Amino acid sequence: MKLDDITISKAIIESWSKDLVDSLEVDVAIAGGGPAGLTAAYYLAQQGMQVALFERKLSIGGGMWGGGMMYNKCVFQEESLKILEEFKIRTTKYQEGYYLTDSLETVCNLCSSAIQAGVKVFNLISVEDVMIRREQVTGLVLNWSAVGLANLHVDPLTIRAGAVIDATGHAAEVAKIIVRKIGRKLYTDTGDLVGEQPMWADLGEYAIIENTKEVYPGVYVAGMAANAVFGGPRMGPIFGGMLLSGQKMAELLKKRGQ
């Protein structure tokens, strides 16, 4: 059969546009496609929620690809093994309590599981603002990452969401936008981002689970963003906390009836 170039273009444009139109009103919108965002997205979709995830970069996976200092291995603790099993990520035991994965396999499995569970992943799109109604975040404001990179003056588009997850990693970008736009009104001691603390893997990994919670009406923080907002230590290349944080987020939103 002869192939028509225009049919190929039409197929892409029509199906991608339909995905975005279908995601204009979702149960949960996630900013950031690192391990925490992908894990939360997967479990939320498994619970039957409509989930859209927006990732600034071309590739999803955030800081996971490079393992520790570009050695592409990730360390996980005992508590996260069940989640790794759920994603069919293979582990090898290093010593009691320490498990290793191939970071590339880890990212690929997280991503394919999330998409196959029904999550719509939009890469190359940045969250640049939030929509707020009566002191509640009700959606995200989006633009092409390329627009920001080229410093072009192009207005964004908006989607509505029952809940928003800030899974933007160390930068905690959604929380920062809220403080910049409406002042220090976060659910932290200061109302502002408390800031990430120095390296301490043991404390950081447990703090992150504790810090995975609502940070402003309608906005929840997961993964590294949770420690940046509520003030927990960083933990280096151990990733169990990120997956456990994503899983906890899905449980929280289930309880909230989102």
- Comparing CB distances to ligand 48H, the nearer of 32 and 162 is 32
Minimum CB–partner distance for residue 62 and ligand 48H (Å): 2
What is the per-residue DSSP string for 74-122?
Answer: EEEEGGGHHHHHHTT---EEEETTEEEEEHHHHHHHHHHHHHHTT-EEE
- Comparing CB distances to ligand 48H, the nearer of 62 and 139 is 62
CA 26 and chain centroid, separation: 15
- Comparing CB distances to ligand 48H, the nearer of 234 and 254 is 234
- 169: helix, strand or coil: helix
Minimum CB–partner distance for residue 126 and ligand 48H (Å): 4
- Token pair for residue 185? 């009104």
Q: How far apart are CA 209 and CA 241, in angstroms?
A: 7
Interacting residues toward ligand 48H by CB under 6 A = 31-37, 54-57, 62-64, 126-127, 167-171, 173, 199, 223-225, 234-236, 239, 242
Minimum CB–partner distance for residue 48 and ligand 48H (Å): 23
- Comparing CB distances to ligand 48H, the nearer of 1 and 86 is 86
Q: Which residues contact 256 (CB under 8 A, 6 or more apart)?
A: 163
- Comparing CB distances to ligand 48H, the nearer of 32 and 139 is 32
- Comparing CB distances to ligand 48H, the nearer of 35 and 139 is 35
Radius of gyration of the chain (CA): 18
Q: Let me know: does 50 contact 66? Beta carbons within 8 Å.
A: no
Task: Return the DSSP state at 17.
Answer: H
Q: How far apart are CA 58 and CA 64, in angstroms?
A: 14
Minimum CB–partner distance for residue 170 and ligand 48H (Å): 6
Q: How far apart are CA 74 and CA 201, in angstroms?
A: 13
